[in-house]
Amino acid sequence: MGSASSTVVKAKATYQPLGSVWDGEDAELLENVLSFYPRTTPKRILDATVNGGRFWSGSKRPVIGLDIEIQHRPDIVADNVRMPFRGEAFDVVVYDPPHIPNQGKDNEKDFNTRFGLVLRSPKENGYTFSHTYPPFATEAYRVLKPEGILLCKIADYVHHHRYNWAHLDFIQAATQVGFRACDCIIKIRKGPIIDPRWKIAHHTRRQHCYWLVFRKSPKCE
């Protein structure tokens, strides 16, 4: 009896809930998230925007990387709004859409090389990528198993003197196709873009982004 009691006490003492603010690397955060949210250990993970695969540095997770750009050498070359997978094929889907369309030039950093910020959005789409969220969310819902997890890294930004609430646009797109929005982690960014052409700023610098957590379920817990 005493042994069982001490085991319970030990379990309570070692439990560490995940904090809502993260000041560190995405790879480490993802490992924590994948240990925290899924109901069972994920057997198949899809990174739908794998790019150079920096999220999975040192990871032993079973990840399939998909990207539309062949130069990144993903496992699967395909568009994430028309994914070549059967329904309910994955336990987790990870999504990192372009954060800053038509970004300015930062003299200190090459964001294009580091983060793949090479796409541009025309005026017809409001200089945003929000039009890509609904078709992706539909596909993510299709390929996820019931109770599966969708993780999205996304950042708000300012363009043409207008604040773009990208994280709200994505939440709306995901919930409209059936996902339950379950959590939000604020990730600190140490290097927001600072364009030398900006003489006067009318908005605060975007020194954070979000990791949004969704579940293919009517409830989160």
pLDDT digits (tens, 9 = 90+) for 32-90: 999 999 999 999 999 999 999 999 988 999 999 999 999 989 999 999 999 999 999 99
Q: How far is residue 128's CA from residue 157's CA, in Å, rounded to a whole number?
A: 10
Q: What is residue 204's predicted lDDT score, i.e. its pLDDT?
A: 67
| pTM, 2 dp | 0.80
DSSP structural state of residue 102: T
**pLDDT value of residue 113:** 47
- Contact predicate 183/151, CB 8 Å: no
**Least confident interval from 46-50, 96-100, 166-170:** 96-100
If 0-12 CB within 10 Å is exposed, 13-18 middle and 19+ buried, where does residue 4 land?
Answer: exposed
User: Quick one: average pLDDT of 9-36?
Assistant: 83
- Report the share of the chain in percent with pLDDT over 70: 71
What does the buried/exposed string (b/e) look like for 156-188 if buried means 16 or more CB atoms within 10 Å of the residue's CB? bbbbeeeebebbebbbebbeebebebbbebebe
- What does the alpha-carbon distance between residue 56 and residue 61 come to, in Å, rounded to a whole number? 8
Q: Which helix (H) or strand (E) holds 140?
A: helix 133-143
Assign 199 a pLDDT band (cuts: 50, 70, 90): low
How large is the average pLDDT for residues 12-17? Answer: 67
**What's the pLDDT score for residue 4?**
53
Is 123's pLDDT higher than 70? no
Spatial separation of the C-alpha atoms in residues 73 and 67, rounded to whole Å = 8
Tokens of 117: 């910020």
Distances (CA, A) of 152 to 2, 3, 68, 176: 44, 42, 18, 16
Domains and CATH numbers, the chain: 19-192+202-215 (3.40.50.150)
**What pLDDT does residue 179 have?**
98
Bigger pLDDT: 204 or 2? 204
